[in-house]
Amino acid sequence: MRTLVFAAIAAALTPVAGTADVTRMGFVVNPIDATSFEVPWRGRSGPRTFWCAAGDYVRYDLNMPGNTRIYRTTPPRRGAGEAVRFSLRPEGAGPTGLALIGGGNSISASHALLQCNRR
């Protein structure tokens, strides 16, 4: 009986596509599929806030290593109040929306977490 209760709790806590997840830092993240997710707009969210949420989700909710590449698939010029989509795959990636030396279309999960200290 105890095993069934633990199994039911574990199943309820497992992220499912279409179900919002709340990261350890309190960001809401909407998984889209196994490699894509979206961070909704929350108040005065800027690029660093979105990247911080993405890094927090990838590193601690998905338990991926710090060197995991995260790609932004929403164009940087999003409208006010729009979410930002990210992927762990490079297909459809555009500019990060951050000022990066050397450019590029992705940053590591660890680099994304550094954005949390700059909000």
At 31-64, the pLDDT tens digits run 999 999 999 988 777 888 999 999 999 999 999 9
Highest mean pLDDT among 3-12, 24-33, 71-80: 24-33
- DSSP characters for 69-93? EEEE-S-SSPPTT--EEEESS-TT-
Q: How confident is the model at residue 118 (pLDDT cuts 50, 70, 90)?
A: low
Q: Are 55 and 70 a contacting pair, CB within 8 Å?
A: yes
Other C-beta atoms closer than 10 Å to the C-beta of 8 total 10
Place of tokens 């909710």: 61
* 5-17 per-position pLDDT tens digit: 344 444 444 444 5
Domain ranges of the chain: 17-118
- pTM, 2 dp: 0.78
Place of tokens 């806590």: 13
Place of tokens 């459809």: 92
